[in-house]
Amino acid sequence: MPDENLSAADDARRAPCGAIPPAARTPEETGIPFLFLVELVCKILFLRGQLYLNELALHIKLPVSVIDKLLVFIRAEKLCETTRRGTSGTDADTCLMLTDAGRVRASQYILQNAYAGPAPVTLAAYTAQVRLQSVAGMPITDHAMGAEFGDLVVDPAILDKLGAAMNSGRAIFIHGPAGSGKTYLAERLQGLLQGTVLVPYAIMVDREVLPFYDNLVHQAVEAPPAPPSFERPAGGRCPLAARQAPGRAGGGRADAADARRPVRPGHPHVPRAQPPESEQRHLHH
């Protein structure tokens, strides 16, 4: 018989924190410049060659309704040609391939910006999602602290400070001598964070693309069922990932470990600014 407590804990850990953004229905709703998306499609076709429409959608992480509008422009510019290969009679039979003019243009696009991955999100969209996913209101109880650190020998005063710091929703500053356990304590704090977060594949800042999602850093989780009108994390521009461990604390020097913020490289999202030194909690051990 399955353990109901473990099952409930797993469900809580998989539950997304904050609303899942609605799927874009037009290029304008993506927030990304139209011509940038056109260039991105051309670069993908240049690097991958002939693609079916559903393969392109899977690569670029955009709905077919958005891609169709981009292809109308690309075909009008005679950069791409489409053929039907299949018997399903649906868009799945649509095969895309660049023309000679399209390959020349795509090679120029690559020289300007070599990024050819999933469509990025805007910095503003990333920032808004980070606020929705904030854990500032996630209460950390004495019971939760005891369950997470019960197998360790830790000064109760330090656990009290860690619990208060976690509930503050601010950055935590842990320092002490080399080998005193700073990194290990910081890593164990991850177990107090529940739920999951949406992490973008890439972020656009002033037309520059910053790759963000990293398989070595982020732990992807199965997405819960979502209405068709919403961006499914598994197929949208922001996959669902578990909250990550805080940053490392180095031995022998004071290092910042923001245990309230998932370790993410880039959509930002912009890293949360640290509070003034007078507001930071200094934990000694």
Looking at the structure, tell me whether residues 170 and 277 fall in a common domain.
yes
Q: Which of 160, 165, 135 minimizes the C-alpha distance to 244?
A: 135
Report if residue 23 sits inside a domain.
no
Return per-residue pLDDT of the chain as tens, 285 residues: 344 433 444 444 444 455 677 888 999 999 999 999 999 999 999 999 999 999 999 999 999 999 999 999 999 999 999 888 766 666 677 899 999 999 999 999 999 999 999 999 999 999 988 888 887 777 888 888 888 888 888 888 888 888 888 888 788 888 888 888 888 888 888 888 877 888 899 999 988 999 998 888 887 777 665 544 444 434 578 877 776 544 444 343 333 333 333 333 333 232 333 334 444 433 344
Report if residue 10 sits inside a domain.
no
What pLDDT is recorded for position 19?
63
What pLDDT is recorded for position 269?
30
pTM of the entire structure? 0.67
CB 250 within 8 A of CB 174: no
What pLDDT is recorded for position 90?
67
What pLDDT is recorded for position 276?
41
**Residue corresponding to tokens 């990194």:** 183
CB 201 within 8 A of CB 239: yes
Domain with residue 97: its CATH number is: 1.10.10.10
Full residue range of the structural domain in which residue 212 is found: 126-284
Residue ending a domain, among 118, 149, 171, is 118
Q: Considering its fold, how many domains does the chain have in total?
A: 2
Looking at the structure, tell me whether residues 172 and 236 fall in a common domain.
yes
Report if residue 5 sits inside a domain.
no
Report if residue 19 sits inside a domain.
no
Looking at the structure, tell me whether residues 49 and 142 fall in a common domain.
no
Residue ending a domain, among 84, 118, 152, is 118
Looking at the structure, tell me whether residues 58 and 195 fall in a common domain.
no
Residue ending a domain, among 118, 137, 163, is 118
